[in-house]
């Protein structure tokens, strides 16, 4: 390499590095805020993000506003992100923590849309939110991928009910293999209805009485084989009306 070119190249690299590491300036934050407003991010959310600039720095505010703007540009559900921001600001959560939570939610929605589009050929808003919210809450992506690949052709309400079961039961720490067994039997028998989407309530009630998840699964499968409703599962486990105390299991 030409010796006179080396110093120039070095200076160029240093300049680029410094440019990349420059903090967000107030004017740049204002521009980002304007773009967010124009896109459709709520005024309340933009103002909350901007308020962090005064208490911390423009950089902190920009890190929080960026996921909101990107979510809006991507036409993904933005209300959950705005809610997380409002809660974080109200609780005085550090901006960096808020920004990570918002980015995690955005990434979860992006995964959900990609999964539904490529596997099921749809980006239905309800299904997208079920998957995205579940992933954001820690449900394994592989669980949703498996369910969508297997049952993508089911009618919308039942497909969404199954997704809800995967999400809520996953958040409760219920093994996906058990959830899959219930879903398989329910779909095969034609007994699965939308009422089953809140089956997690049965699981949690049974756990209060030290009933293992496997036993709950066995009872659910037996009820589905008989074409029974979700409300029959706890009685099948030996619960009486007095045990249940009027707990609503279907809605």
64-76 confidence digits (pLDDT tens): 999 999 999 999 9
Under 8 Å between Cβ of 152 and 159: yes
**Residue 189 pLDDT > 80:** yes
Please answer whether residues 216 and 233 qualify as being in contact, where contact means their C-beta atoms are separated by less than 8 angstroms.
yes
What letter would DSSP give residue 22? Answer: P
Domain ranges of the chain: 27-121, 139-251
Q: What is the pTM of this model?
A: 0.84
Looking at residue 55, its pLDDT comes to 80
Six-digit token string for 203: 């699981």
- Nearest to residue 149, comparing CAs of 178, 174, 183? 183
Tell me the residue length of the chain: 251
**What pLDDT is attached to residue 56?**
81
Phi/psi of residue 243, each to 5°? Answer: -60, -40
Q: How far apart are CA 102 and CA 84, in angstroms?
A: 7
Question: What is the CA angle 168-98-81, rounded to 5?
Answer: 55
Q: How confident is the model at residue 151 (pLDDT cuts 50, 70, 90)?
A: very high
Instruction: Tell me if 84 sits within 8 A of 101, measured CB to CB.
Output: yes
For the record, the structure tokens of 174 come out as 């219920």
Q: How far apart (Å, rounded) are the C-alpha atoms in residues 80 and 87?
A: 11
């Amino acid at each position: 390499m030409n010796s006179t070119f080396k110093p120039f190249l070095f200076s160029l690299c240093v300049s680029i590095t410094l440019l990349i590491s420059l903090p967000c300036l107030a004017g740049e934050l204002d521009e980002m805020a304007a773009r967010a407003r124009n896109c459709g991010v709520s005024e309340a959310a933009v103002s909350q993000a901007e308020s962090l600039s005064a208490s911390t720095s423009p950089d902190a505010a920009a890190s929080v506003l960026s996921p909101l703007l990107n979510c809006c540009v991507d036409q993904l559900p933005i209300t959950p992100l705005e809610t997380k921001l409002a809660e974080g600001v109200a609780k005085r959560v550090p901006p960096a923590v808020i920004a990570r939570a918002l980015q995690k939610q955005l990434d979860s929605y992006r995964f959900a849309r990609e999964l539904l589009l490529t596997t099921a050929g749809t980006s239905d808003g309800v299904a997208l939110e079920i998957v995205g919210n579940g992933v954001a809450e820690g449900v394994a992506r592989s669980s949703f991928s498996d369910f969508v690949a297997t049952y993508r052709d089911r009618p919308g309400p039942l497909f969404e009910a199954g997704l809800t079961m995967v999400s809520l039961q996953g958040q409760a720490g219920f093994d996906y293999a058990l959830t899959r067994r219930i879903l398989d039997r329910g779909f095969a028998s034609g007994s699965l209805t939308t009422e089953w989407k809140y089956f997690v309530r049965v699981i949690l009630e049974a756990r209060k009485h030290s009933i293992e998840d496997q036993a709950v699964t066995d009872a659910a499968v037996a009820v589905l084989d008989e074409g029974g409703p979700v409300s029959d599962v706890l009685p099948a486990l030996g619960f009486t009306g007095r045990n249940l105390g009027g707990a609503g299991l279907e809605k």
